[in-house]
Structure 1
Amino acid sequence: MILRLLLAAIYLFAGASKIFHVLLFKATIMAYYSMPEWLAFLIALVFPWIEILAGLSLVLQWKTKYSSAFLFLLSLFFFVQMILNYSNILPYGCGCFGFGGPEKITLYHVFRDLSIAVLAGFVFYREWKK
C-alpha cells in the first residue's frame, strides 16, 4: 500500500507541476519531438490531467489494475526518453516535475526514471496479482 501511495504521489506531483504551465509544457514537448504545434498543445493540455487522474485512482483504490498498468507503461516511456536524450541539453529541463532553464540530461535523470519505472512495475505486478 505504501508503494502504491508513493507512486501516486509522484504522478500527482508531476501532473500538478505541469497543469498551470501549458505553454511551457508544450515547448518542452516540442524540444523532445518534432510535431505540429497544435498537437503538442493538445498533449500539454490533456496529459497532466491524465497523470493526476491515474494517481488519484491509486489513492482512491479505484480501477488500480488499469491505472497501475498505465503508469508502468508511462514510466517505461519516460525512462526510454531519458536514455534517448542522455547528455542533451533541453531548453526548459526535462519537464518531469516542473520547468526551469536549460538542463542537461544526466545519469541522475536516467536512474531517477529507472527507479520510478521499477516502482511502477512493482505496483503493477502487485495490483494484477490480486
Structure 2
Amino acid sequence: MKVSSVHLCITIISFIMIYSGFSKVINIYEFINNLYYYKHIPESLFLIIGYGIPIIEIFIGVAIWVPNVRSKIIIGYQLLIGSFMVLFIVHFGSFMPQGCGCFGSSQGETISFLTILRESLFFLPAWIYFFLVQSEKYRKHMLKI
C-alpha cells in the first residue's frame, strides 16, 4: 500500500510540473507577457524567468523519477511552489487579466485567499511522500532493534 501511495505522490508531482512547464512553453510569449502584472519582478528578468521556469518545471517533472535524487528534487519542487506562494501573498488583491500564469493563460482573476489556498494544495503530494518515506524508515529501524 505504501509503495503505491509513494508512486502516486511522485506521479502527481511529475504530472503537475510537466503539465505546468509545457503549458508555459506552448504559449511562452503569453507567459512572459503575464509576468508584467507581477509588479515586483524587474522587466530585465522577464526573459530569464519566462524561459527558466518552464525548463525547471519540466526538469523537476522528469528528474523526480530518478530514485537517488528524488528527495532533493521534491525539496526543489517545494521551494518552487513556496516561491509562487510568496509571489501571490505579495500581490494579494491584484487583478491578473490572464490568470496567475501557473498553467498558461486563463480567465482573469484577483489573487485572493482562495488563490493562495489552491496553490498551497500543491504542497500535499510532497508532504505525503515525505511522511510515507519517513514512516517506512522508522518502521525498518524499529524492526532492527
TM range (shorter): 0.7 to 0.9
For 1:115 and 1:45, the matched residues in 2 are separated by 25
Q: 1:106 to 1:127 in 2, by over 3 A?
A: same
Other structure's SS at 1:18 match: helix
Hey, what does 1:36 align to over in structure 2? Answer: 43
| Post-superposition offset of 1:9 | 0.8
Listed one character per residue, the Cα deviations across residues 12-69 of structure 1 (whole Å, up to 9, x for unaligned) are 11111101222211122222134134x2112211220110111111235462122111
| Post-superposition offset of 1:89 | 0.2
- Percent identity over the alignment is 24
| Post-superposition offset of 1:124 | 5.0
Where has structure 1 moved over 3 Å in runs of 4 or more?
Answer: 59-62, 121-130
2:51 to 45, 48, 70: 45
User: Is 80-89 or 56-65 further displaced after alignment?
Assistant: 56-65
Contact 1:12 1:55 in 2 (8 A): yes
What amino acid is the match of 1:59? W
Q: Which runs of 5+ in 1 are unaligned?
A: none
2:29 to 23, 35, 42: 23
Q: Which runs of 5+ in 2 are unaligned?
A: 1-6, 138-145
Say if 2:73 is the partner of 1:67. Answer: yes
Q: CA RMSD in A?
A: 2.3
For 1:128 and 1:64, the matched residues in 2 are separated by 14
